[in-house]
Amino acid sequence: MTRSVREELASVESDEQRDLCSPAGRETERAGAGAGAGEEEEEEDLLHHPEEDEEEDDEEDEEEEEDGENKPKRRGPKKKKMTKARLQRFKIRRMKANARERNRMHGLNDALESLRKVVPCYSKTQKLSKIETLRLAKNYIWALSEILRSGKAPDLMSFVQALCKGLSQPTTNLVAGCLQLNPRTFLPEQTPDMPTHLPPAGAAAYPGHFSYQSPGLTAGLPSPPYGTMDPSHIFHQVKGQPYGSLEPFFDGVLVSDGPAFDPPLSPPLSINGNFSSFKHEPTAGSDYDKSFSFSVHYGGGGGAGGHPSIYGNGGPNPRCGELQVEQLMGFDGHSHHERLMNAQLNAIFHDS
DNA sequence: TAGGCCATCTGGTCCT
DNA sequence: AGGACCAGATGGCCTA
């Protein structure tokens, strides 16, 4: 091994060590038991390549010998012999490429994690899978676009239906858990005996409390702790953009009194209307095209420090007569939930 | 134990 | 030549 090759190899190896020390690198370590071991084996194989024993010097440009006269000439670039030096360079190149690929995937996963935090259902303990995160994000974007396009706010059921469209059952259950809803109340295929255009039984039966039914009623419902459906997600703001694209729609309603990135987490909103303008992709078995005509009031006093109206510790919203977001959060009590939400919001808004 | 999810490795392709 | 990106393969972990 030449000196330069040896140095480069050491450099790459130290890079990998750095990977192992980084947070993402711990994942590498976990999987390293599998793939990493395999890599070592392969490297061992490469190092003991049969051709290697034939040539010990650095002749790299020597062309591969033809196996025989009878064999047709191979097209394309001729393969070069794997000399020891070439083998080492190949190994180094491969290790570098692997490290880059790892970093790239870590970046991708970081971005996905950021996405998880801004879609409606976020939980550190019950992470959405990658594909479900993307699906939920797509639904979420679409639903918000519909709000902007139609100028009307959706009723909760329609909104949740839109969010859950195409999601797996467990994810749907998770979203339901976040909302403290029973998936049966908004999944048409799961409520054969209940017309989907009717208000959910839970809402009708418990006007002041959107109860979440026991997991036993819903196959595959994950165990607590669930994530939370943070209402601020619905009107999530982009860093540096006080109200993002929602500003025109909620112009005059939202209040900003903080620094550049200190958004009022729960703007005082009173939303009425239906989501009948929802247009869903044609999906087999999809029955989401029905229109609903509920109304949801998102009351709130706004301001720094959390969700005053949602938690009931701020200015009450007298306009909220039908269904308040706080009523959807059927946890034990405000203090507990507030802590939960604050922690989550901190994670969301101070993460990046 | 099968299936889902995930991280990683790897070789190919394209681009600079 | 080297980096970014991609898709396939592989093996580990977890859960029903």
What are the distances in angstroms from CA A211 to CA A201, A202, A326, A328, A335? 10, 6, 12, 7, 18
Model confidence band, residue A148 (pLDDT cutoffs 50, 70, 90):
very high
Tens digit of pLDDT for each residue in A253-309? 222 333 322 232 222 222 333 333 334 443 333 333 332 222 232 323 222 222 322
**In degrees rounded to 5, what are phi and psi of residue A80?**
-100, 155
Which of these ranges, A5-9, A142-146, A215-219, A228-232, has the smallest mean pLDDT? Answer: A215-219
Q: Which nucleotide is nearest to A223 (CA to C1')?
A: C15
pLDDT, tens only, A50-104: 333 333 334 333 333 333 334 344 444 445 666 777 777 888 888 888 888 888 8
Strand B contact nucleotides, protein CB < 7 Å: 4-12
Assess whether A101 (CB) lies less than 7 A from strand C. Answer: yes
Average the pLDDT over A106-122 and give the result.
85
User: Is strand C within 7 Å of residue A38 (CB)?
Assistant: yes
Asked whether A9 and A94 are in contact (CB, 8 A), the reply is no
Q: Is the CB of A256 under 7 A from strand B?
A: no
Nucleic strand C contact set for A 129-188 (CB, < 7 Å):
none
d(CA A347, CA A185): 30
Residue A217 Cβ < 7 Å to strand C? no
Looking at chain A, the whole-number percentage of residues with pLDDT higher than 70 is 27
**CA A174, C1' C11: Å apart?**
29
Most confident of A25-29, A106-110, A153-157: A106-110
Per-residue pLDDT of A171-196, as tens digits, reads: 887 777 776 666 566 554 433 333 33
Is any atom of strand B within 7 angstroms of residue A174's beta carbon? Answer: no
Q: Is the CB of A38 under 7 A from strand B?
A: yes
More confident residue, A245 or A157: A157
Nucleic acid strand B within 7 Å of A115 CB: no
Cβ contact A37 with chain B strand, < 7 A: no
The pTM of this model reads 0.52
The mean predicted confidence, pLDDT, of chain A is: 50
